[in-house]
Structure 1
């Protein structure tokens, strides 16, 4: 029986992911955090204001159930 070793594939020379990650990371993290805070605020809005916005409790529940990275 041969032993299996986990190997990671070598990155292809055409893919440069690191500069993309370092340049966009602060803005991306800020956007995710802002989205998280907006969903927390949305969850606290009362039914009267939701009607003014044209939203239902189900709309709010569905939006708040999304992960922070999903728009």
Structure 2
């Protein structure tokens, strides 16, 4: 029985390309990380707003504490 040899170029072209679903999954992960980071920054900004501006927004300090206590992945 003889062993069949596959040229290196065939292996690279077959396994070197990323399949289409991987690209979509990668983009979704990047979108999700960006969303989490944006949410984190928004909560940091919210924590710095003074009470006068909070009243203008219709928020109480308790609302702000509750929102800022959430983890970055929680909406």
Q: Same fold (TM over 0.5)?
A: yes
Q: RMSD between aligned alpha carbons? A: 1.4
For structure 2, which runs of at least 5 residues remain unmatched after alignment?
1-20
Q: Does 2:67 align with 1:60? A: no
Question: Number of residues paired by the alignment?
Answer: 54
SS in structure 2 of the partner of residue 69 of structure 1: coil
- Calculate the TM-score normalised by the size of structure 2: 0.67
- Higher helix content, 1 or 2: 2
> Shift of residue 28 of structure 1?
0.3
TM-score (structure 1 length as normaliser): 0.70
Larger radius of gyration between Structure 1 and Structure 2: 2
